[in-house]
Amino acid sequence: MKEKIIEELRKLDFVEWDRYFGYEKSLTFFGWIDRKDQHKDFVYIEFENGVVLNYGTSSKRHTSRIAQFLKQSHSECKRVEDFCDLSNVIRLKDKKR
């Protein structure tokens, strides 16, 4: 099982893997993707018995590529500020997306 997980994590060589949690057969890994604006995007992958169960990322640039590498369906990430008005939401200065 460990070898299968390592194989999947290596496919995303542009991700800096940071932490993981879980139990023997169910593990979730977290990593970071550098961006040109000095910020980082997150990515996580959930494994069960060494098989990719789910993943998510905040990377608009790499999201399709990650889905392809992991052989998973793809869904575009959307902004919370477009969903609702919260005081604790990150707002983009440039509203063009």
Buried b (16+ CB within 10 A) or exposed e, 60-97: eebbeebeebbeeeeeeeeeeeeeeeeeeeeeeeeeee
**Cα separation of 7 and 50, whole Å?**
10
Q: Specify the DSSP class assigned to residue 66.
A: H
Per-residue pLDDT of the chain (97 residues; tens, 9 = 90+): 899 999 999 999 999 999 999 988 999 999 999 999 999 999 999 999 999 999 999 998 999 999 999 999 888 888 889 999 899 998 886 554 4
* DSSP reduced 3-state for 46: strand
In contact, 29 and 17? CB cutoff 8 Å: yes
Which residues is 27 bridged to in the sheet?
22, 47
Per the domain annotation, does 76 fall within a domain?
Answer: yes
Per the domain annotation, does 92 fall within a domain?
Answer: no
Domain range spanning residue 74? 2-83
Per the domain annotation, does 91 fall within a domain?
Answer: no
Indicate the number of domains in the chain.
1
Per the domain annotation, does 15 fall within a domain?
Answer: yes
Cα separation of the two ends of the chain: 40
Per the domain annotation, does 48 fall within a domain?
Answer: yes
